A = this chain, B = another copy of it.
Amino acid sequence: MTRLGELQTPALVVDSAALEHNLRTMSAALPGARLRPHVKAHKCSALARRQAALGHRGFTCATLREIEGLAAAGLGEDLLLANEVLDARRLARVHARVTVAVDSQETIAAAVAGGVREVLIDVNVGLPRCGCAPADAARLADLARRSGLEVRGVMGYEGHAMLVEDGGKRSALVSDAMALLRAAHAEVGGDVISAGGTGSFDRNPVATEIQAGSYALMDTAYAKLGLPFRCALSVLATVISVSATYAVADCGLKALGMDHGNPAIDGARVWFCSDEHVTFAPEAPVRPGDQIRVWPAHVDPTVAYHERLHLVAGDAVLESWPIDLRGW
């Protein structure tokens, strides 16, 4: 049995009990096909297999690599590429059921050229990112059908609501967004209304399936929302230098997504991160060689830096899983 102290640092560690709690809590709230777990947050087919074992057999992906990796892992029963691609030819070699988001004539043409058979019309519901204007959804659905594609329905990600801390405001934003999506769906047709995320999993009754991903591992940004999920993911680091007022550990910008700001360290104030270091002021003395846990502010771009994650229980490393879906 490998112990934490034997891991090379920085190392991505996932608390087994917290992960299990998160997976089961979400499955109880959104059983079976009500949840289409998004793998972009964990990029790990071994973790996806745990989600499938709880009854969630369809997955959401952001990249071709994620689609290919899940298919290779035998998890290709119903994969949604919830993102626009202009070159879908790699999908022609994937043995899986793949549905692709489209929001323009160009992405419809790319789907056809890539041998894709099923699509969702991606509708902009308020986040300035992908998705057609709601009023354009019906035209695109017609174009897709005339191009020989099966239109399964619509998707629309209310990402602008996801991290709003005030629950009432978050609900209102989700509701406004879903009114747009419901109206687009009435025009487009199909069985699927795919939307949502960890921040709206419990307040989006319009979506037939919720694309939540962060709930499995969590991060300090989502933790502020008071959701019933626990922070399961941290970066194990080693204290490498200690001075009178601060200490330094080996977990820097190349081990952490930084777009949501600095990570957190229990019992310490984080000063700043540099490429390979975090400088922090500990409340109690630390020594070179001590291991600490660094809690990332944003799970997705943190995981994407690492080759593997270690599933741990206390001091014991239970399993090590490759982050096999990273890259593009």
Query: Which of these binds chain B: A15-23, A147-155, A241-249?
Result: A241-249
**A8 B288 Cβ-Cβ under 8 A:** no
- Report which of B83, B129, B248, B298 forms a contact with A253, defined as CB distance below 8 A: B298
A240-B85, A274-B129, A288-B84 given; A257·B248 CB < 8 A: no
A243-B124, A254-B301, A277-B130 given; A289·B259 CB < 8 A: no
Say yes or no: is A159 at the interface (Cβ < 8 Å to chain B). yes
A255 to B83, CA, bound (A): 16
Say yes or no: is A300 at the interface (Cβ < 8 Å to chain B). yes
A328 to B240, CA, bound (A): 15
**A253 B301 Cβ-Cβ under 8 A:** yes
**A276 B62 Cβ-Cβ under 8 A:** yes
Interface size class of A (residues with CB under 8 A): 35 or more
A-B residue pairs in contact (CB < 8 Å), sample of 27: A40-B276, A62-B275, A63-B276, A84-B240, A84-B248, A85-B250, A86-B238, A106-B289, A107-B288, A110-B289, A128-B246, A128-B279, A129-B277, A130-B240, A130-B241, A131-B241, A133-B243, A250-B328, A253-B259, A253-B298, A254-B257, A257-B258, A258-B258, A258-B259, A258-B301, A259-B273, A275-B301
A-B contact sample (15 more), CB < 8 A, given A84-B240, A128-B271, A133-B243: A62-B276, A84-B241, A84-B288, A86-B238, A86-B289, A104-B288, A106-B287, A107-B241, A110-B289, A124-B243, A129-B277, A250-B328, A254-B326, A275-B301, A307-B327
Please report A residues at the B interface, Cβ cutoff 8 Å: 8-10, 40, 62-64, 83-87, 103-104, 106-107, 110, 124, 128-131, 133, 159, 238-243, 246, 248, 250, 253-255, 257-259, 271, 273-277, 279, 287-289, 298, 300-301, 304-305, 307, 326-328
